[in-house]
């Protein structure tokens, strides 16, 4: 129960890594608000946990929707302890075939969204002198991959955003850190493999990129996020944690 009596807002919490975080955090004693564009899935997940989990529809690209999330949290709780910027939008396309609309969608979701969430929720943490912000970047934010200019740019920007926020808030009592998952078995990976001519070969290729010989699990990433959310990481500020089965150690 490392998060007993803690409150948490997570974007994109209806599936994949986000869902694993919700389940782990509730098991650790937290109350959770899921802010997700997929409100039906988020509401169904929240229903499993009764009063411990609430869901609200939010597209993090739009400031008015983010502001509404902040308003709802203030009405529900006296304060927010943890903010997890997990909502993401992927794209597998070459730089010259990427449209302006696709570029804007990915950058607005994966980079502008976390900034907007911080803009509307973190000032209250600063006033209180306590809080933990955890940004979910990616292996793509640390190393280069083909067909990943939009996604990699957004996730790489999120890593630097984390460090800049961490330095700006270093003396406030608010911690800002980042988790970079590697190849994780999530619906995002399933969508990618389904686009491939040979899905089995694509899955084998993904597993082969991980030195441990398999894709990671969402609950394994949730454990890393829990570390930053808990009091076990009080000395971490601007830390970037790779959870990638050894990929970046090569």
Is the full-model pTM beyond 0.85?
yes
Q: Tell me, what's the pLDDT at 201?
A: 74
**Residue 73 maps to a domain:** yes
Two tokens, residue 180: 């970079």
**Residue 200 maps to a domain:** no
Q: Tell me, what's the pLDDT at 71?
A: 98
CATH assignment of the domain containing 136: 3.40.50.720
Contact at 8 Å (CB) between 3 and 30? yes
Angle at 222 between CA 116 and CA 51, to 5 degrees: 75
**Residue 171 maps to a domain:** yes
**Residue 206 maps to a domain:** no
- Active-site pick, 81, 88, 133, 151: 151
Q: Tell me, what's the pLDDT at 202?
A: 67
**Residue 123 maps to a domain:** yes
- C-alpha dihedral (74, 219, 215, 178), degrees to nearest 10: 40
Distance CA 145, CA 194 (A): 19
Contact at 8 Å (CB) between 7 and 79? yes
**Residue 62 maps to a domain:** yes
**Residue 21 maps to a domain:** yes
pLDDT digit string (tens) for 67-123? 999 999 999 999 999 999 999 998 989 999 999 999 999 999 999 999 999 999 999
Which is more confident, 106 or 187? 106
* 95 a catalytic residue: no
**Residue 187 maps to a domain:** no
Q: How many domains does the chain have?
A: 1
Residue with tokens 């690209």: 61
Q: Tell me, what's the pLDDT at 196?
A: 67
Range of the structural domain that residue 144 is part of: 7-180+219-242
């Amino acid at each position: 129960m490392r998060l007993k009596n803690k409150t948490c807002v997570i974007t994109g919490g209806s599936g994949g890594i986000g869902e694993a975080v919700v389940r782990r955090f509730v098991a650790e004693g937290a109350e959770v608000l899921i802010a997700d564009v997929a409100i039906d899935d988020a509401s169904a997940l929240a229903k499993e946990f009764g009063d411990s989990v609430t869901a609200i529809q939010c597209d993090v690209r739009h400031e008015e929707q983010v502001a509404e999330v902040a308003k709802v949290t203030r009405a529900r709780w006296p304060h927010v302890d943890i903010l997890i910027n997990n909502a993401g939008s992927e794209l597998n396309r070459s730089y010259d075939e990427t449209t302006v609309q696709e570029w804007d969608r990915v950058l607005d979701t994966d980079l502008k969204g976390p900034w907007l969430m911080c803009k509307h929720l973190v000032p209250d943490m600063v006033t209180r002198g306590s809080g933990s912000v955890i940004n979910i970047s990616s292996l793509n934010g640390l190393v280069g991959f083909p067909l990943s200019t939009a996604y990699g740019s957004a996730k790489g920007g999120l890593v630097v955003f984390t460090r800049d926020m961490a330095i700006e808030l270093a003396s406030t009592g608010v911690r800002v850190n980042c988790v970079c998952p590697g190849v994780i078995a999530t619906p995002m990976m399933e969508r990618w493999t389904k686009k491939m001519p040979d899905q089995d070969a694509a899955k084998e290729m993904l597993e082969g990129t991980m030195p441990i010989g398999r894709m990671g699990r969402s609950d394994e990433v949730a454990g890393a996020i829990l570390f930053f959310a808990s009091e076990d990481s009080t000395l971490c500020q601007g830390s970037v944690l790779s959870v990638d089965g050894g990929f970046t150690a090569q």
